[in-house]
Amino acid sequence: MSKFIENQNWRYATKKFDASKKITAEDLETLKEAIRLSTSSYGLQPYKVFIIEDPAIREQLKPVSWGQSQITDASQLVVFANYTKLDEKVIDTYVERISKTREVPTEAIQGYGDFMKSKILGLTPEEQAIWTSKQTYLALGNLINAAAELKIDATPMEGFEPEKYNDILNLNELNLNASLVATIGYRHEEDANQHVKKVRKSKEELFINL
């Protein structure tokens, strides 16, 4: 755990990436696995994750990301896209996945599927979109922590125009919405932010023990 805290103190929101440094294929697979294994309500994972390396696509996305250089300079751009609407098929597919993975009859877990349907499908479309969007933040947390362990910089970003991302990446056609963006790679030696102290509330200010 001491290493975990050390890694959290090491990481920061990198503003300037070294475009000449790329994440290895092995480390990228580790980051993808960390995202895949992330906590998710019901284990449903109501989102897709786009790993974007194509320079042309990233150049298109940069102007609608407040012109931030991280979009094009980082090794990869990661876009978390939540489902905007869920239906019975999504839940049935998940129940089948549970059945296959755990080698149990579908009938034995049908009650769980029905429970999910009663809770999720009863939400309004707006409520569903908010709920699925929140799930992407859990996956982002796993990416940030895993990256820090590998000494890879990861910067979460909300400074972008989701509607424009949806258009450029054709997400609307896939029933998806760009919820979060993260850039991953290696800090540039000229990024001054790496030399400033991390500012956080003290434990006394942050925690309330009851």
Structural domains in the chain, CATH included, are 18-86+121-188 (3.40.109.10)
34-70 pLDDT, tens digit each: 999 999 999 999 999 999 999 999 999 999 999 999 9
Q: Indicate whether 104 pLDDT > 80.
A: yes
List of residues 6+ apart from 191 with CB closer than 8 A: 14, 15, 16, 17
Strand (E) or helix (H) holding 127: helix 125-149
Look over the chain and give the mean of its residue pLDDT values, rounded to a whole number.
Answer: 97
> What's the pLDDT band for 2 if we cut at 50, 70, 90?
confident
Interval 139-153: pLDDT, tens: 999 999 999 999 999
- Average the pLDDT over 104-123 and give the result: 96
Name the band, by pLDDT with cuts 50, 70 and 90, for residue 163.
Answer: very high
Query: Residue 195: which H helix or E strand, with range?
Result: none
Burial class from Cβ neighbours inside 10 Å (0-12, 13-18, 19+) for residue 79 reads: buried
User: In 11-124, where does DSSP find H-type helix?
Assistant: 25-36, 55-61, 70-73, 88-102, 110-120
Report the C-alpha gap between 22 and 128 in whole angstroms: 37
Position 198 scores a pLDDT of 95
